[in-house]
Structure 1
Amino acid sequence: MKAITYQGVKDIKISNVHDPKIEKRDDAIIKVTSTAICGSDLHLIHGLVPNMPKDFILGHETMGIVEEVGPEVTKIKKGDRVIVPFPVACGHCWYCEHDQYSLCDNSNPHGEVGGILGYSETYGGYAGGQAEYLRVPYANVGPLKVPDELTDEQVLFLTDVLPTSYWGNLIGGVKKGSTVTVFGCGPIGLMAQKFAWLLGAKRVIAVDYIGYRLEHAKKFNKVETINFEDYDNTGSYIKELTKGGTDVVIDCVGMDGKMTLAEMVETALLLQGGAMSAINMAAQAVRKGGTVALVGVYGMRYNAFPLGDFWSRGITLKMGQCPATAYVEHLLEWIKEGKIDSTDIITHKLRLDQGERAYEVFDRKEDNCIKVVLKP
């Protein structure tokens, strides 16, 4: 089959690889109909995530038709059309039983976090879904059957974008009357803004430095927008603008944000895990006693982390990989009811065999790119 594979830093290619096979009795094989490139996939190709072997198949936002199931699979059957949430989770450890699927104790022998499809050996070594076929481990846990009347584009982002952006609001404590700042106007940030309104926020501020994405946020999400390059200290500006800061700050940027020169050098020397600009801004943009939710991906340890700022202002920090599996059924109902629509973030649809160009456009933010969907 054809698949998008990692060859090295900023080097991917379309490869011919072996089709996946049933390896365990509760596996399933999915024939992929749609898959997407995630902003966190860029962390991989930028070399910010360790233990990426050559020829590793990328991708964790995937849906398709069930082609084959192992003898112990009862939740789905051949011919079902399913979305596959990105966490790989066993479904029966303490964390899975408490809806913390991204912390599964049994799916990743290489670390504390649970397994993730297509996201390096560090996250379990599971081949990803930017391919013609995908092996789904623990197929009684993750995959969710979706109705035929909904298009792939309507439901594909149940795999990651929708649950992650929703969860960011939940852990941030967004509720009726909340004021919210969202850092980042990529796919996760744009949808986090929509969910903030849905959960009752009275004011939502979007922060980025890419003009066309700020315009998209303003047009589709009706938010206030701030270009952080317009201010010497954006966090302090938001604090002043809101008379003390917003109740909640949601960081949808993570380690691949705009780096200072020092961060570039330290990251290259593996002394730092990428950018920390959004965290520094958040430390000032949130009100005293407020909450900062970090849903952008971070790695390693960070120098000059503003712990004293957070401590002195009584800030609550919430963070981690979203346990997406816990929210997909609820969000599917919202899609059916028309309460949430993520199709406006899709700017590019390309064939899977155009994957190299797709990554280039997405990474370089060419042609006003926000989200790329690939079709095998």
Structure 2
Amino acid sequence: MKAITFQGVKNVEVKNVEDPKIVKDDDIIVKVTSTTICGSDLHLIRGRMPKMPKGFIIGHEAMGIVEEIGKEVNKVKKGDRVVVPFPIACGHCWYCNHDLWSQCDNSNEHGEVGGVFGYSELFGGYDGGQAEYLRVPYANIGPRIIPEELTDEQALFLTDILPTSYWGVENGGVKSGDTVVVLGCGPVGLLAQKWAAYMGASRIIAVDNIDYRIAHAQTFNKVEALNFKDYDNTGEYIKEITQGGADVVIDCVGMDGEMSAMEKVETALKLQGGSKSAIEIASQAVRKGGTVSVVGVYGSRYNNFPFGDFFSRNITLKMGQCPAHTYIDRILNLLKENKFDATDIITHRMSLADGKKAYELFDQKLDNCIKVVLKP
């Protein structure tokens, strides 16, 4: 089969690789009909994630048709169209039983975090979904059957960015009347802005530095969009225009924020896991007693993290990998009822064979690229 593979920093290639096989009795093989590139995939190709062997198949957002099932699979059958949530979860450990699916104790023998498709040996070493076929373990737990009335494009983002953005807003405790700041106008940030409006926020302020993404954010009702390059101190400016700060700040950027010269050096030397500019803005933009919800991916430890700023102002910090299984069904119901739509963020539709070009567009923010859907 063909698959997008990691070949080194800033280098992905579409290669012919071995087809996946049933390994355990509760596995399925999915013939992928749609897949996509996630912003967190860029951490891999930028060399910020350890244990990425050459030839590793990337991708954790995929859906398709069940092609083959193990003999213990009873929740799906051959021919079903399914989405596959990005965390791999066993369904019976303490963490799965407490809705912390992304922290499953049994899906990753290589580390303390749960398994994730296509996200390095550190996250279990599972082949990813940017391929023609995908092996899905624990198939009685993760995959969800998609009704025929929904297109692939309507359902595909249930794999990650729809649950992640929803969870980021819910985790921040957004309620009716709140002022919410969303850092980042990439796919997750744009959807978080929509969810904040859905949950009743009265004021939504989006922050980015890419003009076309800011313009897209401004097409949403209630969203004010700021380019942080226009301000000497964006966090302090937000505090000023909100008379004390936002009730909730949602960081959808993580370590991919704008890096200072020192951070670039420290990151290159592996002394730091990337930028902390977003979390610094968050520390200034949130009101006393407010909440910062972090869904953007951060790497290793960070120098000069603004811990004291949070402590002294009674800020609640919430963060982590979204337990996507918890949210898929409720969001799926909203999609079926036409109460939420995420397809407007799709800017490019390309063949899997053009995966290298798709990564270039997304990584370098060319041709106004926000989200690419790939068809094997």
TM-score by length of 2: 0.99
- Partners of 1:97 and 1:68 lie apart in 2 by 28
One-letter amino acid of the structure 2 residue matched with residue 346 of structure 1: I
RMSD: 0.6
- Partners of 1:331 and 1:186 lie apart in 2 by 20
One-letter amino acid of the structure 1 residue matched with residue 143 of structure 2: P
- Give the C-alpha shift of residue 220 in structure 1: 3.2
2:120 is the alignment partner of 1:130 = no
- Give the C-alpha shift of residue 270 in structure 1: 0.3
What is the 5 A alignment of 1:1-376? 1-376=1-376
One-letter amino acid of the structure 1 residue matched with residue 43 of structure 2: H
- Partners of 2:109 and 2:326 lie apart in 1 by 22
Q: Would you say the 8 A contact 2:21–2:29 is kept in 1? A: yes
SS in 1 for 2:127: coil
Q: Would you say the 8 A contact 2:3–2:17 is kept in 1? A: yes
% identity of equivalent residues: 71
- Partners of 1:41 and 1:200 lie apart in 2 by 31
Q: What CA deviation, in whole Å up to 9, does each residue of 1:67-105 have, x standing for no partner?
A: 001011111010000000000000000110111100101
SS in 1 for 2:259: coil
Q: Would you say the 8 A contact 2:197–2:222 is kept in 1? A: no
- Give the C-alpha shift of residue 290 in structure 1: 0.3
- Give the C-alpha shift of residue 358 in structure 1: 0.2
Q: What CA deviation, in whole Å up to 9, does each residue of 1:26-82 have, x standing for no partner?
A: 000000000000000000000011000000000000000000010111110100000
Structure 1 residues 154 and 290, CA, compared in 2 at 3 Å: closer, same or farther? same
SS in 2 for 1:354: helix
Q: Would you say the 8 A contact 1:193–1:221 is kept in 2? A: no
SS in 2 for 1:39: coil
- Give the C-alpha shift of residue 149 in structure 1: 1.1
- Give the C-alpha shift of residue 221 in structure 1: 4.6
Extract structure 1 runs of 4+ deviating beyond 4 A: none
Q: What CA deviation, in whole Å up to 9, does each residue of 1:304-341 have, x standing for no partner?
A: 00001000110000000000011000000000111110
SS in 1 for 2:197: helix
- Give the C-alpha shift of residue 113 in structure 1: 1.6
Which consecutive unaligned segments of at least 5 residues does structure 2 have?
none
SS in 2 for 1:367: coil
- Partners of 1:35 and 1:186 lie apart in 2 by 17
- Partners of 1:52 and 1:143 lie apart in 2 by 26
Q: Would you say the 8 A contact 1:250–1:295 is kept in 2? A: yes
- Partners of 1:119 and 1:152 lie apart in 2 by 23
One-letter amino acid of the structure 2 residue matched with residue 333 of structure 1: N
One-letter amino acid of the structure 1 residue matched with residue 12 of structure 2: I
- Partners of 1:342 and 1:239 lie apart in 2 by 30
One-letter amino acid of the structure 2 residue matched with residue 215 of structure 1: A
Q: What CA deviation, in whole Å up to 9, does each residue of 1:203-230 have, x standing for no partner?
A: 1000000000000000135400110000
SS in 2 for 1:134: strand
- Partners of 2:114 and 2:221 lie apart in 1 by 33
Q: Would you say the 8 A contact 2:66–2:81 is kept in 1? A: yes
Q: Would you say the 8 A contact 2:355–2:374 is kept in 1? A: yes
- Give the C-alpha shift of residue 112 in structure 1: 2.2
How many residue pairs get aligned? The number is 376
- Partners of 1:339 and 1:182 lie apart in 2 by 21
- Partners of 1:256 and 1:125 lie apart in 2 by 23
One-letter amino acid of the structure 2 residue matched with residue 281 of structure 1: I
SS in 1 for 2:367: helix
TM-score by length of 1: 0.99
Which consecutive unaligned segments of at least 5 residues does structure 1 have?
none
Q: What CA deviation, in whole Å up to 9, does each residue of 1:107-134 have, x standing for no partner?
A: 1122222100000000000000000000
- Partners of 1:294 and 1:189 lie apart in 2 by 11
- Partners of 1:179 and 1:341 lie apart in 2 by 23
SS in 1 for 2:288: strand
SS in 2 for 1:368: coil
- Partners of 1:332 and 1:302 lie apart in 2 by 37
Q: Which moved more, 1:163-172 or 1:104-113?
A: 104-113
One-letter amino acid of the structure 2 residue matched with residue 119 of structure 1: Y
SS in 2 for 1:309: helix
One-letter amino acid of the structure 2 residue matched with residue 351 of structure 1: S
